[in-house]
Every structure is written in C-alpha cells, then in structure tokens.
Amino acid sequence: MPTARQAFAFSVISLFIFFSLSDAIIENANTIRAAIANRRYPDFSYYQNLRTLSVDEFPLGDSKRRVIVVGDVHGMIKPMRALLDKVSYDEATDVLIHVGDILSKGGHGGSMDVLSYMASNNITGVRGNHDQKVIEWRGWINWIRTLPGGQRWLKEKLEKYAEAEAEGVPLERWIKREKKYDKSKWWKLVPKDWVLFGEHYKIARAMTNAQYNYLVSLPLTLYIPSAHTYIVHAGLLPSDPNYPFNHRRQPLARVPNYPPATKSGPKKLKNETLPILRGLQELAILKDVPQNTIPWDILNIRSVLNGKVTNGYTRELNITKPMKDALPCYPSTIIYGHAASRGLDVKRWSIGLDSGCVYSRRLTALILTPKSHHKTLRVQDDNMDREDGRDPTTEANNSFPFGEMGRGTIVSVSCR
C-alpha cells in the first residue's frame, strides 16, 4: 500500500506530465492554426547556395583524369548507364558531375534508381527545379508527421487515393473531389499549387534519409575558380538587365587599363594580384547581379541562372571595389541544363547540355580534358540519329576549346 508521501509524489509527477503534454498539444494546435491562417510553413527548401570546387575536384589540367558533365537525366536510368559505358567512365580517375534534374518525368522506378546511384556514389552536381520539388515535399512530409493526427490523415488519404487510382480516377480530379467533401484542416496545410501524391511526392516519400540528405547537399551553383567556370541548372546573368551593361551598378561595368607602372610594375599586379582579383570579379557576378541571388531563377529561368553567394570573399569584394579601375575583364564559362526545347547548345563560353532525353531524344555528356589531351569526337547538335543508323557522335572531327586551358568533346546516346 503506497504511503501518503508516495501518493503525493505520484500526483506531482502526473500533474507535471499532464501540463507538459498540454503545453505540447497547445503549441502544436497553435502551429496548425498559424499555418492555416497565414499560409506560413517551415522552410522546406533547404537551399545550399554555392559550392566551390578545388583543382582536385575539377582536375581540368590533369592529363590522366577527365571531368564528365552529364545533362538532365530525369530518371532515365538505362540511357544514363549506356552513356557512362560509352564514355568508359572510370570512377577511380574520372570526376562525374550532373547539371540537375536527375529525377522525375522518366518514371518512378527509374528516378529511384538514378537517385540511388547518385547518392551512394556521392556524385557532384547541382539542384534542378524537379529535384527541388522532391526536397520540399520531403520536408513537408517530415513536418506534417510531427503534427498530432497528421501521419494518420496522410495514411488514410493515401489508402483512399490508391483505391481511386486502381479505378482509373485521375489524381487531379480525385484531389478536387476530396477538397470539396473533406472540410478538415489538413488540406489547408498542403501548400498552394502542390500536388499531393504526385510523382514528386512519391519520390520524396520513397527515398531514404541518406538519399534525402544527398539532395539537400546539392548546391544551386558550382563555382570552379581554377577553370573560371560556373555550373548551374538553368543559367546565369552576366549583368543586371535593368541597367545598361556599362552602368556603374554592374559588377563588370568597365574594362580598364593597367595602372601606371610603379617600382614593382604591372608585372607584379599581373603575376601575383590579378588571379585573386579575377576570382573576386567572378564571385561579384554571383553576389552583385540581383537576379543571380534568387534561387527560383537559378532553378527555373531558361537561359538565365541566378545563385546567391552567402560566404567567402564578401569582405574582400567590398575592399577591392575602388580597384575596379585597375581590373581587366576576363571571360568565364557556364555549363547548364534545363532548356530541352533548345537542345544541345555549344557556344564559346556557354554550354547547354539538356538534349531532351526524357522526350525520347538524346542524353549528352561533356568530356573535359587539358588542351594537350586532344579528343576527336564530333560535337553533336540536337538532331536525332542519322537515317543510315550510324551514331553521329562517333564521326571524327575537331574538339572545341573549353575556357582557356581545356578541350571539350560531346558524347551522346539515344533515349528511344
């Protein structure tokens, strides 16, 4: 029989637990009400703005190694494997990089296989707009499951939709009907224009924590100082289109001359200081062009990419602004995907690699080697296979210059 002291202690502990649980329930209820009333949600985006690659991570000057950049895969696992076989990809020496949109459109199973390969091998790359949707759905799923009753509601709706799907009811029609008859709070917690149980949701729900962490680790922009190169999904702006190219607001507004010779002379500036200033100039494109600081633009704008710099050289950029008069303007190279309608688009300082694999066209890889390591594969445009059945990428032709110190060749495979 418990003593009075034991009974009192038990009562105190019970009251403590009760009030603690009550506080948690009230807090969760307030969170739900706030989300419904204000359409305010936790940050599901988890943007990683910029990653800078070292010489070892982008070994353009090493004749024994290659950099292989692959265009938009979109879950097309068979063409991806065929392409890696065709270029004789060697994970021990080659560096493989993707330009984003590795997921969706190509089927659920293919997307999961591509994600498994990329995540398990920690392949370097950037986020695409479809990858971003998967990241955001996983963040939402994790959040909704923390709310009282959220996991049960999801389970019930998923089971209900599975029955409707088996009967051939289109998802959009089912959602519209459910929202009409289900007046509970939960539908209001699904962000506007998000499609519950769509392909991005299914990938987000099925992927492992390790695969989710891999996607979250992908930056919006890869910057390679040693090669003066940017890799993004959709594009970058060299200047703010709201002003003339030579306006003082532009980070590269002038192409000035060297300063007058001093005791050390321009040679010292060129040999010692200029490489650093050039790097700062390249970062200024990311930091000082407003459109290049908006993640949505980076992921979605065709022919224009925008990424925000959040660390590195900010102090030096401010310090060296008065030195712009002494800083020549040098070119940089950008590699991107996203624009399947344009197809393979190789120019002197920009290379678009989305050749429409998911639309039964081609999957393309850009192989980068030093200038001395000459390849003879033809640059493949967005034409399909030849009528005679021969693969046009096997025909001998000159490779093309990449940046100032490399050569590029294009290899592609059919996605039919």
Whether residue 378 is found in the same domain as residue 323:
no
Domain hosting residue 236, numbered range:
221-330
Round to whole Å and give the CA distance between 116 and 263.
59
Q: Which of 239, 246, 328 is nearest to 284 (CA)?
A: 239
Whether residue 175 is found in the same domain as residue 208:
yes
Phi, psi for 117 (deg, rounded to 5): -65, -50
Which of 305, 330, 355 terminates a domain? The answer is 330
Number of other CB atoms surrounding residue 162 within 10 Å: 11
User: 3-class DSSP state for residue 165?
Assistant: helix
Whether residue 206 is found in the same domain as residue 148:
yes
* CB 161 within 8 Å of CB 206: no
Round to whole Å and give the CA distance between 209 and 215.
10
* CB 286 within 8 Å of CB 292: yes
Whether residue 267 is found in the same domain as residue 308:
yes
- Between residues 308 and 80, the one the model is more confident about: 80
β-sheet bridge partners, residue 103:
none
pLDDT one-digit tens code per residue, 354-410: 999 999 999 999 999 998 765 444 444 434 344 333 444 433 355 899 998 899 999
**Mean pLDDT, residues 326-351:** 86
For position 391, what pLDDT does the model report?
A: 41
pLDDT one-digit tens code per residue, 13-65: 665 555 454 444 444 445 555 555 555 789 999 999 999 999 999 999 999 99
Radius of gyration for the alpha carbons in the chain, expressed in angstroms and rounded? 27
Which of 281, 301, 330 terminates a domain? The answer is 330
Whether residue 205 is found in the same domain as residue 234:
no
Where is average pLDDT lowest: 171-185, 288-302, 358-372, 398-412? Answer: 288-302
Round to whole Å and give the CA distance between 353 and 348.
14
For position 289, what pLDDT does the model report?
A: 81
Q: Which amino acid appears at position 4 of this protein?
A: A
> Order of strands, edge to edge, in the sheet holding 67-70?
124-125, 95-98, 67-70, 362-370, 406-414, 400-402
For position 307, what pLDDT does the model report?
A: 36
Share of the chain above pLDDT 70, in %: 71
Whether residue 203 is found in the same domain as residue 234:
no
Q: How many domains does the chain have?
A: 3
Q: What is the mean pLDDT of the chain?
A: 80
Q: H helices then E strands: how many in the chain?
A: 12, 12
For position 235, what pLDDT does the model report?
A: 84
The H or E element that residue 363 is part of is strand 362-370
Strands 50-52 and 67-70: unpaired
